[in-house]
């Protein structure tokens, strides 16, 4: 029997569709809205798992809530560079929305990772070539576990938005929590002011959920099964 005489209903129609879907891109661009603030300051970037490629914004006033709207390429990472207050408190508070899917996550989401550079000055707070290179270098060290935090680790949550000493930051849901990296095992590293091996880098892969990786594997399986069946019936 040849493939042209294949007569099982629906299989020939399914085969090209399954192949097309299996070979589809694993990620799609996401339109995102970021509402955030950091005590004492921050810079927001995005890029790949190994490099910071784009600068979004920086801010040095934790009393205001900043809103950033931009398109994040599929499977890219958000990177947030931060530094401690050292005298009173430090914290990162944020709300992140995928405007295409309606998904929302907060600064305490377990998908976040954080790493400590051990560098106390000269944090990259602009989009200059030198700053992008510096941040990329520290990302590489974190990926190789060659820094004070031993690579990328989980962050530690403090109080919800509305808690002290910051009070309520407008525009961010009450469900969001202030978070930081704990260098000394503190259950709440946001207070008092402390040098937790700053400066820090927080990151999350926001755009990766647009086309989940397991779905592509499943579709590839369908395509391979259809091919195998077609070859078997063609013998």
The answer, yes or no, to whether the previous bond of 157 is cis (omega within 30 of 0) is no
Environment class of 70 (CB within 10 Å of its CB; exposed 0-12, middle 13-18, buried 19+): middle
* Spans of all domains in the chain: 3-24+214-234, 30-210
What's the distance, CA 140 to chain centroid?
16
Q: What is the pLDDT of residue 234?
A: 52
CB 202 within 8 A of CB 156: no
Tell me: pLDDT of 10 over 50. no
Report residue 66 as tokens.
Answer: 């900043």
CA 170-124-56 angle, to 5 degrees, is 50
The two counts, helices (H) then strands (E), for the chain are 3, 11
CB within 8 Å of 166: residues ≥ 6 apart: 39, 62, 89, 91, 93, 178
Calpha distance 235→225 (Å, rounded): 16
Encode pLDDT of 142-194 as tens digits. Answer: 999 999 999 999 999 999 999 999 999 999 999 999 999 999 999 999 999 99
Three-class secondary structure assignment of 159-193: EECCCCCCCCCCCCCCCCEEEECCCCCCCCCCCCC
pLDDT at 107 over 80: yes
Element (H, E) at 142: helix 129-143
Say how far apart CA 223 and CA 192 lie, in whole Å: 57
Half-sphere exposure of 109 (CA within 13 A, CB side): 16
pLDDT tens track for 44-99: 999 999 999 999 999 999 999 999 999 999 889 999 999 888 889 999 999 999 99
The reply to whether the predicted model has a pTM over 0.75 is yes
- Report the distance separating Cα 231 and Cα 94, nearest Å: 53
Residue given tokens 């408190």 in the structure block? 89
Tokens at 116, concatenated: 């400590």
């Amino acid at each position: 029997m040849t493939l042209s005489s294949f007569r099982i209903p629906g299989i020939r129609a399914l085969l090209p569709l399954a192949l097309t879907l299996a070979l589809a891109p694993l990620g799609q661009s996401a339109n995102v809205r970021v509402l955030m603030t950091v005590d004492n300051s921050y810079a927001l970037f995005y890029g790949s798992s190994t490099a910071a490629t784009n600068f979004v914004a920086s801010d040095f006033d934790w009393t205001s809530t900043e809103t950033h709207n931009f398109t994040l390429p599929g499977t890219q990472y958000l990177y947030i560079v931060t530094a401690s207050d050292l005298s009173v408190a430090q914290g990162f508070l944020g709300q992140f929305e995928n405007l295409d899917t309606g998904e929302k996550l907060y600064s305490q989401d377990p998908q976040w990772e954080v790493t400590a550079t051990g560098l106390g000055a000269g944090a990259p707070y602009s989009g200059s070539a030198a700053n992008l290179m510096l941040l990329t270098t520290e990302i590489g060290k974190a990926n190789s576990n060659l820094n004070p935090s031993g690579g990328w680790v989980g962050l530690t949550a403090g109080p919800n938005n509305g808690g002290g000493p910051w009070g309520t930051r407008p525009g961010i849901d009450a469900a969001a929590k202030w978070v930081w990296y704990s260098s000394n095992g503190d259950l709440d590293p946001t207070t008092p002011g402390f040098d937790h091996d700053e400066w820090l880098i927080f990151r999350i892969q926001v755009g990766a959920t647009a086309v989940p990786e397991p779905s592509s594997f499943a579709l590839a399986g369908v395509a391979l099964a259809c091919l195998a069946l077609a070859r078997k019936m063609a013998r």
